[in-house]
Structure 1
Amino acid sequence: MVNNDLVSSEHLPVAEACLRNQRPILDVLGKYLPASSYVLEVGSGTGQHAAYMTEHLPGVRWQPTEVRERLNDIRLWQTHCQRDGFLAPLELDVRQDIWPTREADAVFSANVVHFVSWAEVESLFRGAQRALRTGGLLILYGPYNYDGQFTSEGNIALDQWLRERNPDSGIKDFEQIVLLGRSHDLFLRADEEMPANNRTLIFQKAEIS
């Protein structure tokens, strides 16, 4: 556990990918999120997104989640920031049936979909559907294939690296993701182009008739 003393910046865990993508992601979130939002982040990693987004979106309450062994990294960032909108991290594995929150305005996940299996992506959509209020947004950042094709040489290399470490992982097809969303009453609202051949997909939860 982390004590209540402030944590100095040199002791904070840092993911280089977060440093590269946090500003572009902020621009997209600022475009789509209501000024006062409760955001559930799936797969928060180090907690850097929670720190950055709550600094620049002061009306947002950001709920980070992670598997148990990674929660302490997020607690370090939370203690360092001392920011009301940066909520204490909760344990979450996307495969679990019951998620730790309901009525979220948005579920956000960065660089998770391609790191996990298709079965886990299905679990993510199923959990997001339950966690979101009607009209809420599922926001997914990362690389995707279109028409079954990679969009860059870099994404080909990334996919190969992912499959070497976990054969069930890899970059997913945009069209399959959209169909999966529809099956969970989550309909594509926007597909935002991002730097370095990434995208941000925004789905909106429809009212179930």
Structure 2
Amino acid sequence: MVHSKPFSQACQNNRQPILERIKAVFTEPATILEIGTGTGQHAVYFAAELSHLTWQPSDRPGGAGHSLGWIQEAALANIRPPLELDVSLGSWPVDTIDGAYSANTAHIMSWEEVEAMFAGLAKRLIAGGLFCLYGPFN
């Protein structure tokens, strides 16, 4: 099944500056959980540019398939199928995480969801694992 490709101009605009930051952080082979994959544009761009990483997209239940158009078209071996992830639930579809990344999510989550995201990451990140968070912060 071919999925349509939603487009985000913001993803297009910020992908290179974000890439420059995360490639300085995620230097070793690892699997990176992306929380809030959205359109999939970042997942595809980062996976193509950072072939030493395996990218694990995720999004809210009902939204994980939103990224399939970009992911399927890219057909990159280092992108896994998107997972449904509700950060507020105690159980996540992953047990351990080498690293994590999220863009433009924390400012649209409730405060309780933001706290749950950090708590969930704290339980699942390996020792020394890093979380990169991008967004409008004040």
Q: Where on the TM-score scale, by shorter chain, does this alignment land: which range?
A: over 0.9
Q: Does 1:69 align with 2:58?
A: no
Match of 1:116 among 109, 114, 117: 109
Contact map agreement 1:99 1:131 (CA 8 A) in 2: no
Q: What is the aligned partner in structure 1 of residue 78 from structure 2?
A: 85
The Cα of 1:99 is off from its aligned counterpart by 1.2
Conserved in 1, the CA contact under 8 Å of 2:47 and 2:53? Answer: yes
- The DSSP-based 3-state class of the residue aligned with 1:130 is helix
SS in 1 for 2:63: helix
Q: Structure 2 counterpart of 1:103, which letter?
A: T
Instruction: Quote the offset at 1:118 in angstroms.
Output: 1.1
Are 2:18 and 1:12 aligned?
no
Deviation at 1:19, TM superposition (A): 0.5
Aligned residue type for 1:123? A
* 1:59-208 mapped onto 2 (5 Å cutoff): 59-145=52-138
Q: Which residue of 2 aligns with 1:49?
A: 42
More displaced 10-residue stretch of structure 1: 79-88 or 96-105: 96-105
Distance 1:17 1:131 in 2: 29
Partner SS for 1:26: helix
Larger Rg: 1
Three-state SS of the structure 1 residue aligned to 2:102 is: strand
* Regions of 4+ moved over 4 Å: none
1:27 aligns with 2:20: yes
CA contact (8 A) 1:45 1:66 kept: yes
Structure 1's unaligned 5+ residue stretches are 146-209
Q: Deviations over 1:175-202 (max 9, x none)?
A: xxxxxxxxxxxxxxxxxxxxxxxxxxxx
Q: TM-score, normalised by structure 2?
A: 0.94
Task: Indicate conservation of the 8 Å contact 2:62/2:84, yes or no.
Answer: no
Distance in 2 between residues matched to 1:134 and 1:35, nearest whole Å: 14
Q: SS of 1:68's equivalent? A: coil
Deviation at 1:71, TM superposition (A): 2.0
CA contact (8 A) 2:103 2:135 kept: yes
Equivalent AA in structure 2 for residue 45 of structure 1: G
State the 1:50 CA deviation: 0.8
1:108 and 1:98 map into 2 onto residues whose CA distance is 19
Whether the aligned pair in 2 keeps the contact of 1:102 and 1:133 (CA below 8 Å) is no
Query: Structure 1: how far apart are the matches of 2:67 and 2:42?
Result: 10
Give the gaps of 5 or more residues in structure 2.
none
